[in-house]
Amino acid sequence: MDPLRQSPSPSSSRASSPRTLSCERLGYVGIEAVLDQLKIKAMKMGFEFNIMVVGQSGLGKSTMVNTLFKSKIWKSTMPGLRVPMPQTLQLHSVTHVIEENGVKLKLTVTDTPGFGDQINNDKCWDPILGYINEQYERYLQEEILITRQRHIPDTRVHCCIYFVPPTGHCLRPLDLEFLQRLCRAVNVVPVIARADSLTIEEREAFRHRIQDDLKTHSIEVYPQKSFDEDVNDKILNSKIRERIPFAVVGADREHMVNGRCVLGRKTKWGIIEVENMAHCEFPLLRDLLIRSHLQDLKDITHNVHYENYRIIRLKESHALPQGPGWVNLAPAPPPAPTGTRASPGPAKMCRWAEDNSDEDF
């Protein structure tokens, strides 16, 4: 496992603990009941998930979010209604609580209208990266308080869905420049938007060109190879990486097809079923974001991206002295005048508590 995946531990400089030995049990203890306790506690607290959608106007970002969660998260624009194009990049966030079978999910979606829509798109990614870092800063400021909340509100962006226009050629310089910066700060999942405008052959060729562009420019999108924890993760994630970017179609309206009610887009040639793998790869995107990797997205955000930001901020504030894992709470005392002897004082030092100390048990 990549060393970046592991949070730096203050105890790394200490001698290693004695080897743990398994012992023979004489009967049933009930350790497995811990899983039920965790499930009950998690269902009471609920879950938080924050995603960002980035792409040019008209690529179906709002519709895709509504399709993912089968809810009216964003209000779609009525057909034929002209919406004025924003002159500058603006960020809009909306939060909803979605409940399914007793499980509550607090979902926050951040849209970026105006991205890539201007004639001059120089540094149009600055507001987006600034917003992502601002959420890290908010969490850090709450975390370093002496009296912390039992549950720190998590507004950090766990995943960014990047919508690639279906040009059929390759990634634009704007896409490459932005993705190189974005992948260092957040988990990025690229998708080919409005994939129904391409034939199957064009779609596959476009996918391979994008994969070549990402490899050539060292852009590592989610799921990252370096974070595969075991063989099973490597097998599953390898299959996902072969299909990224997913060719998706969004639709938030239902139609009758052979007596079945399906989500889809109605065209002159028929109905494009978004949940039909023969029509598009929306099911793969949904499974990745919700059914198989949601918690992993949150874990990598906390243990890698946020941790990198936290280290940089603490170094900038000169809070890290020479010793690993120690934080100096007071500035260094001024030098004693010549000919006098400085009186020794207690060292004002404290240890940083590990965020997930219970997981190291």
Measured in whole angstroms, the distance separating CA 27 from the mean position of its chain's CA atoms is 43
pTM for the model = 0.78
CB distance 129 to 181 below 8 Å: yes
CA angle 187-190-195, nearest 5°? 155
Decide: helix, strand or coil at residue 33: helix
Q: 């946020």: which residue's tokens?
A: 306
Helix axes 306-316, 126-143, angle to 10 degrees: 80
Residue 299 parent element (H or E): helix 294-300
DSSP assignment letter at 2: -
The pLDDT of residue 29 is 84
**CA atoms of 122 and 88, how far apart (whole Å):** 12
pLDDT of residue 343: 44
Would you tell me how many other CB atoms lie within 10 Å of the CB of residue 57? Answer: 15
Closest CA to 64 of 246, 271, 331: 246
Tokens of 21: 């030995």
Whether 52 contacts 64, CB under 8 Å: no
Q: CA-to-CA distance for 182 and 45, rounded, in angstroms?
A: 31
- Reading the chain (361 residues) residue by residue, the pLDDT tens digits are 444 444 444 444 445 555 777 767 778 888 889 998 988 888 888 899 999 999 988 898 988 998 888 887 766 555 554 555 554 577 889 999 998 888 999 999 999 887 877 767 778 889 999 999 999 999 999 998 888 888 899 999 999 999 999 998 899 999 999 999 999 999 999 999 999 999 999 999 999 999 999 999 999 999 999 888 889 889 999 999 999 999 999 888 888 888 888 888 888 888 888 988 989 999 999 999 999 999 999 999 999 999 999 999 988 876 545 445 444 444 445 555 545 444 444 443 343 444 444 444 3
276-282 long-range contacts (CB < 8 A, ≥24 apart) are: 279/196, 279/249, 280/195, 280/196, 280/247, 280/248, 280/249, 281/195, 281/243, 281/246, 281/247, 281/248, 282/67, 282/246, 282/248, 282/249, 282/250
Angle (CA) 119 120 124, round 5° = 120
For 318, half-sphere exposure in the C-beta direction (CA atoms, 13 angstrom radius) is 3
Tokens found for residue 74: 């964003």
Measure Cα distances from 345 to 319, 330, 342, 349 in Å: 20, 12, 9, 12
Which DSSP helix (H) or strand (E) runs through 50? strand 47-54
What residue ranges define each of the domains in the chain, with the CATH number in brackets? 33-76+85-249+277-316 (3.40.50.300)
Instruction: Measure the CA–CA gap between 182 and 18, rounded to whole angstroms.
Output: 42
